[in-house]
Structure 1
Amino acid sequence: MPLDVRCKRCGEENLASDSNVCWRCLLTDRINKLLAGPDGEIPERLRPLAEAITGMPRPNSGWAWIHMNRRVPELLRGLAVGEIELSHDALDSLPRSRTIEYLRGLLVAHNCLPWRDEHLIAYGRWLTSKLDTIPDADHRRLIERYTRWHVMRRLRRDDSDQQPVTANAFLRAKQHTTVAIQFLQWLGDRGRSLDECSQHDVDAWFGNGTSTRGHANNFLYWALKQRLVSKLAVPWAPHGNGPLASEKDHVEALRALLLHETLPAAHRAIGIMLVLFGQPLARVVTMRMDDFREGPNGLEVKLGRDWIDVPEAAAAVIRVHLASRPGLSTAANPDCPLVFPGRMPGRTMHVYSVATILRASGIPAMATRSRAWIQMVREAPPAVLADALGVTPQTAMRYAERAGTDYLGYAALRSPRGPEGA
């Protein structure tokens, strides 16, 4: 006699528990109970969350999430009965944990809470604690003024149109702030305040110590603009050439990405964008599904102004990833527009974990990207590549100079408005 695997409640053939009730029915019962408000009904604002959890492709995962983490039912129940206000501020007031951040991500993904940039919030939180460590009141006021009106303003500009602040921008903001604090402390140890800073002091600061001292130029340029210091010559940190992979290593990296048997398809696809198109990892992980399309000649990608053909061997790897992006079977990323969704709802894969995994596979990101650009600028004018690959002409020119090409007088770069008035 054939085994009956139908749920005795809904009649669907599905994975079932010992009680012959399918996981979806069990999960629905649990969610309806946890999210029931004082009147026994799920509050209107929480219904999208309930529908997302109960409708997830693998309901047994949702059941496990609730039963293996005792904080989850506590938080869901608190939101339902009003013990926890449905707001970012209320969640911020709770002890920080990965569970709370995951739930926040779910609430944002399903429009129960408004979107916000978590890197921007994290910088503000970090800044508050950092200011508390500055013993000198004058220094503390200066740093607060610098960060509130310069550093955070730049982050908010990057945050426009719900384009999240990148991990690189977040870490750069922290480093600029930290080095500014160190500079003021160093100046104070020399018996000087900022308005007494001389050219000799600036030269001594930049002429000694580690290379990270160069990040003080951001603070000093701001101070000059605000007329907090007299006119000084502040050295601008040059763009270093950085590491460069050999042509042999570059070819081996591409071969490894195309043929690797254990590296996940997501990391292979990211590596291909790095090796073939010289894209920085921080940008690759933020790509969206509408950045790819099937064209008349095969897969195409849009990195700048135009659509670019992806070589078929590389396109095959990218298609494998696009067809099986991880994390879409949970309630976290339904219909996710991100090409490389991360573990947290609505967030991308972490750029530094990606870089670590690629490096372990013999593909150092910076050296590989530089080699890709060296090869490309030998074949096409820098400004044309800049338009096609979504970088500034100045960035493309730096690679052209490094490659020793003869495009240095390219007319579009001499125009103060850039190519086509951009």
Structure 2
Amino acid sequence: MRYLRQVLISAGTLPAQDMHLHAYEVYSSKFISAIPPHQASILTRYQRWYVLRVMRRASAKAPTSVNTVNRRRAELRAIAAFLTWLDNQGHCLETATQAHLDRYLAMTAGTATALSTFIKWAHEQHLASEITLPRKPSMPGTAAGHEELWDKVELLLRDESISRDVRIIGLFLLLFGQRVANTVRLKRSDVAVTGTKVSVIFGADAIELPPALASLVLAQLQSPTNRYIYHRTEINWLFNGFVPGQHVTPNHISMRLFEAGIKVRPFRQAAMLQLAAAVPVRVIADTLGLSVYTASQWAQRSGHIWNDYPAIR
């Protein structure tokens, strides 16, 4: 039914709609209606004035992903479970202490992340003035090795048994440290072809692609949009998905890369560390679409700060 609805939207028969966002709105409404009224009151406020506002703003820029919906659903269930636990202890959100929160988190390993945004919101709204959830510093994972990185580059350049979209997105990851979730949203208009040169825009400045990768991108540009029953001309994704009007999902690409022996996180870390060691911070920020602060953090991790490089922009 969802696929058929998207076909009708793509054909212009039905008005455009973010299907994943709509599905979450339906789910959250049913979920909240089934919990005790005093819990529902708090969750309704949180959903209406924070979660849905954030999701709708994001939806205006790009369709809501399945990952986002799954994360928000898990968050909703985690909050309800915490409020229920407080009820069983004879307390509520307003009377909960830091000791209550610490004890609950110790009993339910892995729920801190799901509760973090809600606890912060409740504290700002003076609904839970006695509890806070300090943010733990993120620990960098282990990056893939240099030789391993370039072995995978060779694999994606040469192995034609891997689908072209997976090869291109994987190479953007390995060569330019691009997040899969960002790359799948590239549009054909983000690629410029000038003679034999092919450039792609990740940030403020375009990057000229090496010839082998450029040929793959050219083939992708020339491939027909044959996955759609109906195709609206204003939809211009570089990597079309199976659902009409939507780009390929990050999950699909990540799974295909994993099958090729490429775990996204360690290989992206390896790519970013090599780039940060070889390229000045400002150049990385402008070409890869990162903030100067983020680029600086990568430079510090690589051991190359580039303090002597002038701020030329």
- Whether 1:171 aligns to 2:70 is yes
Could you tell me which of 144, 149, 156 is aligned with 2:56? 156
Shift of 1:280: 1.3
Residue matched to 1:248: 147
Question: Aligned partner of 1:128: which letter?
Answer: S
Question: Aligned partner of 1:332: which letter?
Answer: Y
Shift of 1:243: 4.4
Residue matched to 1:396: 295
Question: Aligned partner of 1:262: which letter?
Answer: S
Alpha carbons of 1:139 and 1:168: their partners in 2 closer, same or farther (altered >3 Å)? same
**C-alpha distance in 1 between matches for 2:307 and 2:85:** 41
Unpaired runs of 5+ residues, structure 2, are none
Could you tell me which of 11, 14, 19 is aligned with 1:118? 19
Could you tell me which of 89, 106, 117 is aligned with 1:190? 89
Match of 1:253, SS?
helix
Alpha carbons of 1:334 and 1:327: their partners in 2 closer, same or farther (altered >3 Å)? farther
Match of 2:239, SS?
coil
Residue matched to 2:204: 305
Residue matched to 1:94: none
Unpaired runs of 5+ residues, structure 1, are 1-96, 413-418
Residue matched to 1:353: 252
**C-alpha distance in 1 between matches for 2:132 and 2:115:** 13
Residue matched to 1:56: none
Shift of 1:346: 0.2
Residue matched to 1:201: 100
Match of 2:192, SS?
strand
Matches within 5 A, 1:132-151: 132-134=33-35, 136-151=36-51
Root-mean-square deviation (CA, aligned residues, Å) is 2.6
Alpha carbons of 1:131 and 1:349: their partners in 2 closer, same or farther (altered >3 Å)? same
Show CA shifts across 1:161-212 (max 9, x none). 5x22233433332233222222222322332100011122233334453233
User: Equivalent pairs: percent with the same residue?
Assistant: 28
Show CA shifts across 1:258-290 (max 9, x none). 001201111111111111111111111111100
**C-alpha distance in 2 between matches for 1:377 and 1:253:** 20
Question: Aligned partner of 1:331: which letter?
Answer: I
Determine if contact 1:279/1:369 at 8 Å carries over to the other structure.
yes
Q: Which has the higher contact order (CA 8 A, sep 6+)?
A: 2
Q: TM-score, normalised by structure 1?
A: 0.68
Residue matched to 2:10: 109
Count residues in correspondence: 312
**C-alpha distance in 1 between matches for 2:221 and 2:215:** 10
**C-alpha distance in 1 between matches for 2:32 and 2:309:** 47
Shift of 1:296: 5.9
Determine if contact 2:65/2:249 at 8 Å carries over to the other structure.
no
**C-alpha distance in 2 between matches for 1:365 and 1:221:** 30
More moved, 167-176 vs 251-260: 167-176
Match of 1:299, SS?
strand
Show CA shifts across 1:291-311 (max 9, x none). 101136611000111111111
More moved, 397-406 vs 361-370: 397-406
Alpha carbons of 1:215 and 1:396: their partners in 2 closer, same or farther (altered >3 Å)? farther
Show CA shifts across 1:25-45 (max 9, x none). xxxxxxxxxxxxxxxxxxxxx
Question: Aligned partner of 2:176: which letter?
Answer: F
Shift of 1:334: 5.4
Alpha carbons of 1:394 and 1:325: their partners in 2 closer, same or farther (altered >3 Å)? farther
Determine if contact 1:400/1:408 at 8 Å carries over to the other structure.
no
Determine if contact 1:327/1:341 at 8 Å carries over to the other structure.
no
